Amino acid sequence: MGSQLFFPRGFFLNGIDSGIKDRKKRDIALIYSQVPCVAAGLFTKNRVKAAPVVISQKHLRNGRAQAILVNSGSANACTGNRGIEDAKTMAYDLACQLGIRKEDVLLASTGVIGRFLPMSRVKQGIKKITKTVGNPSKPEFFTEAIMTTDTTPKIISSQFLTQNRKRAVICGLAKGAGMIHPDLATLLCFIITDIAIHKRLLQKALMEAAETSFNSLTIDGDTSTNDSVLILANGRVGNRPINSENRDFLKFQNSLNEVTRGLAELIARDGEGATKLVRIIVNNAKNSLSAKKIARHIASSPLVKTALYGSDPNWGRLMAAIGSSGIRIDPQRIDIYFGKLQVARNGQPTSYSEMKAKRILKKKEIEIVIDLKQGTSGAKVYTCDLTPDYVKINSCYST
């Protein structure tokens, strides 16, 4: 994967300012494919769903799309029938400007919940951004336009060779920093690829990739109304279409996993107020579900996360979180490591150096490893520390 960015053939990306936000910042973003795409998506499991989620779910029923329109500055959530009509208008206006079907437009919004979109500005913004189609793509402008409390853009790409020696590219662009918890949670992610693939397999690959990335990620335990992960595959690479779980499918799955895991780490690293990226690794559990449940419970514990902020090697908080996870464990068999430093053996302290433990926990990237010694399954969950800045950011988000 590396740091070099690759972009798939046949896609255009850009982001512009339309005045949705109070300050002059980019707030409307567009992904457009030269040809219709096979499409798939995953959405929030929150029962309160934003208007763009409702419309995109409807438009995705046929597994096809050609454009994605995103706005920041307003979530268009809890806006009733007016919000639904506004979302329909956005899809219709964009489709008219691009000369495509309105059902081939997918939507996403992010920002404050319970505010109506300033539709006159949105409509002007749609006209403005479609006029840039045909110019060189500006993926950096796209990521800037979808950000809310993010401090850094999030773009990752990967490429692989198909069996007929065609170079395929997958590129993912995301936003997310707070209200992050498994079942997606206040993240928007847009993935584009030039591979040709059947819609059933595209959906399957996306679900598998999300399970080890976005559904293995927690910042603060909250889930939102707008969470969406959308993927478009336009087939421009010219490969033999992937219609079975063959070698090309496995290569595609591995590359997609790379992209989504990389984005999940970037989101955890950019957690609101965060100073550290933390990986919670649970090994040797009875099954993968219990491993993930324990890892998630540790990762979402405020006591654990505040200890990590203070670089406090208080592994007792880890033991307490394991014990309150609801999973049956034997506390007298549990080993705990900060990185490679073992701090607990069979549920009891080892003769480790607290100074060395503190040095490990002061790093910007930390791995905490839990060995349950119950079986052979494991899980990894991404999180961050909990800092005073998190409180400050979220105490005045709407203002």
| Euclidean distance between CA atoms 44 and 230, whole angstroms | 12
Q: How far is CA 266 from the centre of its chain?
A: 9
- Cα-based distances in Å from 73 to 21, 77, 178: 5, 12, 15
The half-sphere exposure of 343 on its side-chain side, counting CA atoms within 13 A, is 24
Single-letter code of the amino acid located at 188: L
Catalytic positions: 186
Mark out the alpha helices in 104-177 (DSSP H runs). 119-130, 139-145
Looking at residue 294, its amino acid is: I
176 vs 87: CA distance, rounded Å: 22
SS3 65: strand
The span from the CA of 198 to the CA of 224, in Å, is 30
Gap between the Cα atoms of 186 and 225, Å rounded: 7
3-class SS of residue 86: helix
